[in-house]
Amino acid sequence: MSLVLDAVEIYRNGSKLFDPVSLHVAPGRIITLMGPSGCGKSTLLTAVCGNLDPGFSLSGTITLGGRVINDIAMEQRRIGILFQDDLLFPHLNVFENMAFGLPPRLKPEQRRQRVASALFMAGLEGFEKRDIATLSGGQKARVSLLRTLLAEPQAILLDEPFSKLDRQLKESMRAFVFQQIKRLAVPALLVTHDIDDAADDNILELSSGSYHA
Amino acid sequence: MAGQSRSPLQFFPYLTLAAFLVPVLLGLAGTWLPALGYLPTIGAKSFTLQPWRDLLDHPSLPGALSATLVSGLSATLLSVFISLWITTHLYKTASWSYIERALAPLLAIPHAAFALGLSFLVAPSGWLIRLVSPWLSGFAHPPDWSITGDPLAISLTITMIFKEVPFLLLLTIAALNQLDVRRTLWVGRSLGFQEFKVWTRLIIPQLYPMLRLPVLTVLAYSLSVVDLALIIGPSLPPPFAVLIDRWFNDPDISMRLVGGAGATLLFLLITVFITIFLLAERIVVMLSRPLLTNGRRRSPLGRMNQGARLAAITTMAASVLSFVLLVIWSFTGSWRFPDAYPQSLSLFYWTKSLPLVAGPLATAALVGVLSACIALVLVLGCLENERSLPQSRIDALSRGSIWVIYLPLLIPQIGFLFGIQTILVRLHLEGSWFSLVWIHLVFVLPYIFLTLAATYRTYDQRYAQVAAILSGSPLRSFFRVKLVMLAKPILFSLAVGFAVSIAQYLPTLYVGAGRFSTITTETVSLAGGSDRRVIAVYALCQFLLPFLVYALAIGLPALLFRNRQLMKN
Longest distance between any two alpha carbons in chain B, whole Å: 79
Between CA A82 and CA B2 the distance in angstroms is 42
Antiparallel, parallel or unpaired: β A67-68 and A56-64: antiparallel
In DSSP terms, A23 is beta-bridged to A5
Chain B residues whose CB is inside 8 A of the A128 CB are: none
CB-based contact A79 B202, cutoff 8 Å: no
Q: pLDDT tens-digit profile of A84-116?
A: 899 999 999 999 999 999 998 999 999 999 999
Residues of A in contact with B206 (CB under 8 A): 89-91
CA atoms within 13 A on the CB side of B475: 3
Task: Show residues of chain B in contact with A96, CB under 8 Å.
Answer: 289, 292-293
How are beta strands A79-82 and A155-159 bridged, if at all?
parallel
Contact status of B201 with chain A (Cβ, < 8 Å) = yes
DSSP letter assigned to residue B339:
-
Question: In the Cβ-directed half-sphere of B566, how many Cα atoms lie within 13 Å?
Answer: 3
- Chain B contacts of A106, Cβ < 8 Å? 295
Helices (H), B36-153: 50-57, 61-90, 94-108, 111-122, 127-131
Q: What is the DSSP letter of A84?
A: S
- Which residues in chain A have Cβ-Cβ distances shorter than 8 Å to B193? 75
Q: Do B292 and A111 touch (CB under 8 A)?
A: no
Q: Are strands A56-64 and A3-12 parallel, antiparallel or unpaired?
A: antiparallel
Collapsing DSSP to helix, strand or coil, B361 comes out as helix
Q: Among B78, B95, B285, which residue's Cα sits nearest to residue B161?
A: B78
Strands A3-12 and A21-25: antiparallel
Cβ contacts from A onto B, under 8 A: 74
What are the chain B neighbours of A69 within 8 Å (beta carbons)? none
Contact B195/A at CB under 8 A = yes
Q: Is B189 on the interface with A (CB under 8 A)?
A: yes
Alpha carbon distance B494, B489 (integer Å): 9
Verify whether the Cβ–Cβ distance A99 to B187 is below 8 Å: no
**Interface residue B3 vs chain A (CB under 8 A):** no
Measured between alpha carbons, how far is B91 from B97 in angstroms, rounded to an integer? 9
Q: What is the mean pLDDT of residues A197-208?
A: 74
Helix (H, G, I), strand (E, B) or coil at B385: helix
> Residue B168 contacts by C-beta under 8 Å, 6 or more apart in sequence?
B79, B80, B83, B211, B214, B215, B218
Nearest to A75 among B205, B292, B297 (CB): B297
Taking an 8 Å cut-off on Cβ atoms, the answer to whether B192 and A101 are in contact is yes
pLDDT value of residue B44: 85
CA distance A104 to chain B (A): 4
Distance (Å) from the C-alpha of residue B105 to the closest C-alpha of chain A?
A: 28
Quick check: B186 contacting A, CB < 8 Å?
A: yes
Q: Chain A within 8 Å of B193 (Cβ-Cβ)? A: yes
Q: What pLDDT is stored for residue A207 in this prediction? A: 65
pLDDT at B5: 52
Predicted pLDDT of residue A206:
75
Q: Verify whether the Cβ–Cβ distance B184 to A87 is below 8 Å.
A: yes
The distance of B299 to chain A (nearest Cα, Å) reads 13
Within A38-100, residue ranges assigned H as helices are 41-49, 94-99
Enumerate residues 6+ apart whose C-beta is below 8 A from B553.
B491, B492, B494, B495
Q: Is this complex's ipTM strictly greater than 0.85?
A: yes
Yes or no, beta carbons of A102 and B296 under 8 Å apart: no
Interface of B with A in 297-316 (CB under 8 A): 297
* Per-residue pLDDT, A208: 54
Q: Is the peptide bond before B134 cis (omega within 30 degrees of 0)?
A: yes
A104 contacts B192? CB cut-off 8 A: no
Q: Is B480 on the interface with A (CB under 8 A)?
A: no
From the candidates B199, B282, B293, B294, which should be mutated to test the interface with A, based on the most A CB atoms within 10 A? B293
Q: What is the mean pLDDT of each run of 10 residues along chain B (569 residues)?
A: 61 88 94 93 89 95 95 97 94 89 87 94 89 84 84 93 95 91 93 93 94 96 95 92 96 94 97 97 94 86 82 92 95 89 92 93 97 96 85 76 88 95 92 95 94 88 88 87 92 95 95 92 87 94 93 89 77
- Give, as one character, the DSSP assignment of residue B238: P
Answer whether B295 sits within 8 Å of A106, measured CB to CB: yes
Please say whether the beta carbons of B544 and B364 come within 8 A. no
Residue length of chain A? 213
Report the alpha-carbon distance of residue B259 to residue B49 in Å, rounded: 13
Q: Note the pLDDT of residue A210.
A: 42
Render B243-262 in DSSP notation, one character per residue.
HHHHHHT-SSTTHHHHHHHH
- Residues in chain B with CB shorter than 8 Å from the CB of A145 are none
Within 8 A by CB and 6+ apart from A175, the residues are none
State yes or no: pLDDT of A212 exceeds 50: no
Per-residue confidence (pLDDT) for residue A196, from 0 to 100:
80
Residue A133 — pLDDT band, cuts 50, 70, 90?
very high
Q: B190 near A158, Cβ under 8 Å?
A: no
Confidence (pTM): 0.91
Chain B nearest-CA residue for A144: B187
